Structure 1
Amino acid sequence: MIKEYSVSGTALTGENLEARDVTIVVQDGIITAVEDEISVSHKWICPAFFNAHTHLADTVAMDLPCNGTLDELVTPPHGLKHQILAHTPDDRLITAMNESMKEMIHSGTAGFADFREGGKEGVLTLKQAASSLPIHPVILGREGGEVNADGAGISSVRDVSSSQEIVDRMKKQGKIVGFHAGERDFLDIDAALDMNPDFLVHCTHARSDQVKRIADEDIPVVLCCRSNFLLGVSSGNHHPPVQEMLNAGVRLLIGTDNVMFVQPDMMQELSFVHTVYGVPAHDLLKSATSGFPPTGVSHCIEKGNMASFFVLDTSWGNIHYSRDIESTIVKRAPLSHFCARIF
């Protein structure tokens, strides 16, 4: 039986998020029409978020009182979080990741890319945790888990001596590769770029020549700005050099990083980046809702795409006074106005 339904409202449509009064028709999970209307109800329709960098297993260590350097807290293989993960039973990891994914869905996220520790078993536990939920995980394995995943999520090249071997194997298998780079300093960025990755995460301390190279080679960069602040690798809006990246034409994506420190809520992340780094709301929403270019996943509201959007009820409260839908979504994170999630 064909399942068909429609949703009407002011939608942010296409790759450029053009605000239009429309009816969106969905059939078997695919958008079959985006029809212009003269008058619509008090609803805003926004493409779903894609959280481009997470470590969901860290949920089991959420807000653990701790102090230390980046190395001491999260760097493999001996960082505090890795010690905790190694001693946590699989059933607890599965439940914790499942609960974090429910939080992500609740706040408008339909997909995410996770750097998953724990080898093959780590990848399988994340697959199991996501299996019953309407969310699309891109799983990037480590420690041998790449074989069972969508690709490899490599920590800094300085941490993984076999990085080139892993990359070569992934490329032969048609899988994707992402690197942490530039989180601690700029010294591992060029080495990561030399391996032709599909994307980089952080680039907190990228130099101008590296920003230019990233732009010239069209390598997307995932920003995780709240995490950078909380882990002490940034304390101001020049790190990461977001404005310089935008000016150079770098494709920016948004991630929330370690659930140990940061809630995987994209609305909170967008509000933070907009406030601290001054990135225009339009640019941020494009980064957060375009999907995940390395795998071709698109969340744009246009005919032929999978239905991945959420609906806000603007008939109550103050947000119907908004003069700019994009700014209001980014600045005010109106989660209480969610009335539907179509993933």
Structure 2
Amino acid sequence: MQLEGTILRGRDFDPVEGRVVVEDGTITAVEETATDSTDIILPAFVNAHTHLGDSIAKEAGEGLSLDDLVAPPDGLKHRLLRAASTEEKAAAMHRSLRMMEAGGTAACLEFREGGVEGVDVIRRALDGRDIEAVVLGRETADAMEIADGFGASGARDGEFGALRNATEAAGKLFGIHAGERDAHDINAALDLEPDFLVHMVHPEALHLERVEDSEIPIVICPRSNLVTDAGVAPIRELVDRTTVALGTDNVMLNSPSMFREMEFTSKLADVSAAEVLRMATVNGADIAGLNYGLVEEGRDAKLLVLDGDTDNLAGVEDVVRAVVRRAGQADVKDVYL
């Protein structure tokens, strides 16, 4: 397979005119050459933090606090999940996965509530979809054992030391929420030496130094943090110190659109368009150990093609900036997963 157009090549997303050659699902060449195509070729997105279970209750809980919305075990989300049938949850998650796939998302890192049953439900929801879910089980070691790792709610909700050790012994991914409500749980989360942290809205100087020294990646969810009134993460400072990826968080609160998350982040923070695009692609892939997120030789060919001749994109002068701040699902021409 060959794709032609303007290619956002490599980690810097340098726009080059040419073709991408794909053989057996792997990018074998990125060639500069003249082409008549107006297509824009870029890596498919990696949504680095999702809670897909609450797809059953979009826009529920307006006006509730963060704890009342999502805190285990009795936040609104958890009560709604307990009340819903397995079939309802699987069907709702399937719809969200289908939407993400159509919008150019190749993979998500899913914090999956419900223990073993919760992991089983998302496996059902993935049936028939090409999108990949890196599933982090929650609540029990058994859930971690049948998933791709463990997603902890936060150090204030338990020590998690035994589960951290079990996850490490299994060679799996361990992520934990930290600094979403305030700074009180950040040191305890860092003490667990997680593979990544989520949110980090309220880090203090010591926490930033620890993150930099330990090189722990951070997943930020700016739209979600504003919806829940958690605040705004110091995105520029985080990017200067470690790998930062983007996630859309709870479907209850926000659509799982990486286009919307990129645009919001780019207009909110003092970061370049290329930095934001890295957050939405290769940085999340690196956290999850996935061999995609870039258009370069040897990477898995998880690719997104935008129609550069739509009314929205025709005439853009800075292609990377346009992808990050202007493009949307209506501009998607093809998604190769």
Residue 246 of structure 2 corresponds to: 254
- Asked if the contact 1:227/1:262 (under 8 Å) is kept, the reply is yes
* Correspondence 1:175 to 2:172: yes
SS in 1 for 2:48: strand
* Correspondence 1:334 to 2:328: yes
SS in 2 for 1:72: helix
**1:154 Cα offset (Å):** 0.1
SS in 1 for 2:314: helix
Q: Which amino acid aligns with 2:271?
A: V
Q: Which amino acid aligns with 1:175?
A: K
Task: Indicate which of 129, 138, 147 corresponds to 1:142.
Answer: 138
- Asked if the contact 1:243/1:277 (under 8 Å) is kept, the reply is yes
Residue 62 of structure 1 corresponds to: 58
- Unmatched runs of 5 consecutive residues or more in structure 1: none
**1:39 Cα offset (Å):** 3.1
Task: Indicate which of 222, 230, 233 corresponds to 1:233.
Answer: 230
State how far apart, in whole Å, the 1-side matches of 2:308 and 2:163 are: 49
**1:66 Cα offset (Å):** 3.5
Tell me the matched-pair count.
333
Alignment of 1:1-343 (within 5 A): 5-144=1-140, 145-161=143-159, 163-234=160-231, 239-247=232-240, 249-290=241-282, 291-297=284-290, 298-343=292-337
- Asked if the contact 1:21/1:40 (under 8 Å) is kept, the reply is no
State how far apart, in whole Å, the 2-side matches of 1:78 and 1:335 are: 35
Q: Which amino acid aligns with 1:116?
A: R
Identity rate, percent? 38
- Asked if the contact 1:154/1:160 (under 8 Å) is kept, the reply is no
Q: Which amino acid aligns with 2:153?
A: S
Normalising to structure 1: TM-score of the pair? Answer: 0.94
- Asked if the contact 2:7/2:16 (under 8 Å) is kept, the reply is yes
SS in 1 for 2:155: coil
- RMSD of the alignment, in Å? 1.3
- Asked if the contact 1:10/1:40 (under 8 Å) is kept, the reply is no
- Asked if the contact 2:312/2:327 (under 8 Å) is kept, the reply is no
SS in 1 for 2:168: helix
Pick which of 41-50 and 13-22 moved more.
13-22
SS in 1 for 2:156: coil
Normalising to structure 2: TM-score of the pair? Answer: 0.96
- Asked if the contact 2:4/2:35 (under 8 Å) is kept, the reply is no
